[in-house]
Amino acid sequence: NAGVTQTPKFQVLKTGQSMTLQCAQDMNHEYMSWYRQDPGMGLRLIHYSVGAGITDQGEVPNGYNVSRSTTEDFPLRLLSAAPSQTSVYFCASSSAGLAGETQYFGPGTRLLVL
């Protein structure tokens, strides 16, 4: 199993450009989430999904869109990048256990918006 994979590893964008951060998992996990990590701010939840076709907003959803057409994939879209979106983005997945299940994180995508 590859676990949770993310592409690209690093990306530089200009203000106003759009892009999609890819996330895939091969563990058949129902739950998937996107977090951003900024220095001193910890990890903040952007969007999450409890299954294909179902998504919901997290703590900091503005400027980001998501969709979940398959169990395996959960892409994050930036429609018009802003310097405030410079961050490290982590995707995570977990199974839908009855008592809380381990979230597995991808390796992260470093995004720089100029």
Partner 1 sequence: GENVEQHPSTLSVQEGDSAVIKCTYSDSASNYFPWYKQELGKRPQLIIDIRSNVGEKKDQRIAVTLNKTAKHFSLHITETQPEDSAVYFCAASNYNQGGKLIFGQGTELSVKP
d(C-alpha 34, C-alpha 58), whole Å: 9
Which backbone phi and psi does 85 adopt, to 5 degrees? -90, 5
Convert residues 66-105 into a mask of x (bound to partner 1 by CB under 8 A) and - (unbound).
------------------------x-xxx-xxxxxxxx-x
Convert residues 26-65 into a mask of x (bound to partner 1 by CB under 8 A) and - (unbound).
----xxxx-x----xxxxxx--xxx-----x-xx------
Distance of CA 10 to the CA centre of its chain: 14
Least distance between partner 1 and beta carbon 35 (Å): 8
Least distance between partner 1 and beta carbon 49 (Å): 8
How many other CB atoms are found less than 10 A from the CB of residue 30?
16
